[in-house]
Amino acid sequence: MREIGFSEIKSVALDILKDVAHFCDTHDIRYVLAYGTMLGAVRHKGFIPWDDDIDIMMPRDDYNRFIKTYNEHNSRYQVFSIENDDTYTYTMAKVFDQETVMIDNTLWRNFDKAGVFIDIFPIDGLPDETQAQQKIFRHQQFLNLLFHGSSMKFTFSNRYVDSKGSFAKLKGYVRTFLKFGAISLMHFLPTTSLIKKINQDAQQYPFSNSNYISVLVDCASGNKREVYEKTLFDNRSLYPFEDTEFWGLTDSDFYLSHLYNNYMEAPPKERQVPHHNYRVYWKQ
């Protein structure tokens, strides 16, 4: 098998996104660019130069409909999640290129259908009260801690390697220490059951009936930084990303400021490095 290089991964992932976006537009499924992909669209008109992943997010109902219908449309690109495969090893859905294979060096057990991918995050509702929101975040973060402890090998945490924060290196060491403790104590826990529990508990408040929304299955930023009024999702605009336009939140400034503060400022050169720990190959 031939290994796929950094630039080629970007090209393959972009092709997946194009297919997913076309399918969503054709079938009236709402999506927007998310996290570093939205940041890349605004700051770089494409990928963040040192990053190769693509994230989008969808309201939970659209997310469920996408998972149920997408795989009938294309045999090369296939969506997998805990909702359609009990052997799945991640909390959010991913669309994989089935002509490629991925070896995830962070996991004890690799998902056998994994390849070059894009991430799809479900957006769920939240209660109106701040205290109740924080209780949900604490609960989901605890479940995520158990999940990561059950599924991951011990490797240095790369979560903050491209952060601009002055304490990024210290936070990386602290996260690595916590990761070691979690893996040592929790490796015996049932990964699949935890993924199902994380998704089940994230859906206490339906997106359609809520005034506030968030991504609750990953809690990457957590707490107030990922709480938004649902009206934010009412308005979408097209953003150039590489050679194509994709939907993003019209008020991208609010979304990105909420997540990253001064998002137009790039991190120092020494922190402009990829933060993934996997290798991908062409099957033939």
Q: What is the pLDDT of residues 113-144, one digit of tens each?
A: 999 999 999 999 999 999 999 999 999 999 99
The pLDDT value recorded for residue 162 is 45
DSSP string, 198-229: HHHHHTSS-GGG-SEEE--SS-SS-GGGG-EE
Coil, strand, or helix at residue 35?
helix
Three-state DSSP state, 56: strand
How does pLDDT run across 45-72, given as a tens digit for each residue? 999 999 999 999 999 999 999 999 999 9
- DSSP codes joined into one string, 243-277: TEEEEEETTHHHHHHHHHSSTTSPPPGGG-S----
Please return the burial class of 262, using the count of CB atoms within 10 Å of its CB with bins 0-12, 13-18 and 19+. exposed
- Using the Cα atoms of residue 173, residue 174, residue 175 and residue 176 in order, give the sign of their dihedral: positive
Classify burial at 201, counting beta carbons within 10 Å of its beta carbon; exposed 0-12, middle 13-18, buried 19 or more.
middle
Write the DSSP string, 165-188.
-TTHHHHHHHHHHHHHHHHHHHTT
Which phi and psi (to 5°) does residue 135 adopt? -65, -40
What pLDDT score was predicted for residue 71?
Answer: 98
- pTM for the full predicted model: 0.89
**Could you give the angle at which helices 35-43 and 252-260 cross, rounded to 10 degrees?**
120
Mean pLDDT of 164-189: 65
Backbone torsions φ then ψ of 57, nearest 5 degrees: -140, 155
pLDDT digits (tens, 9 = 90+) for 101-111: 999 888 878 89
| pLDDT given for residue 177 in this prediction | 65
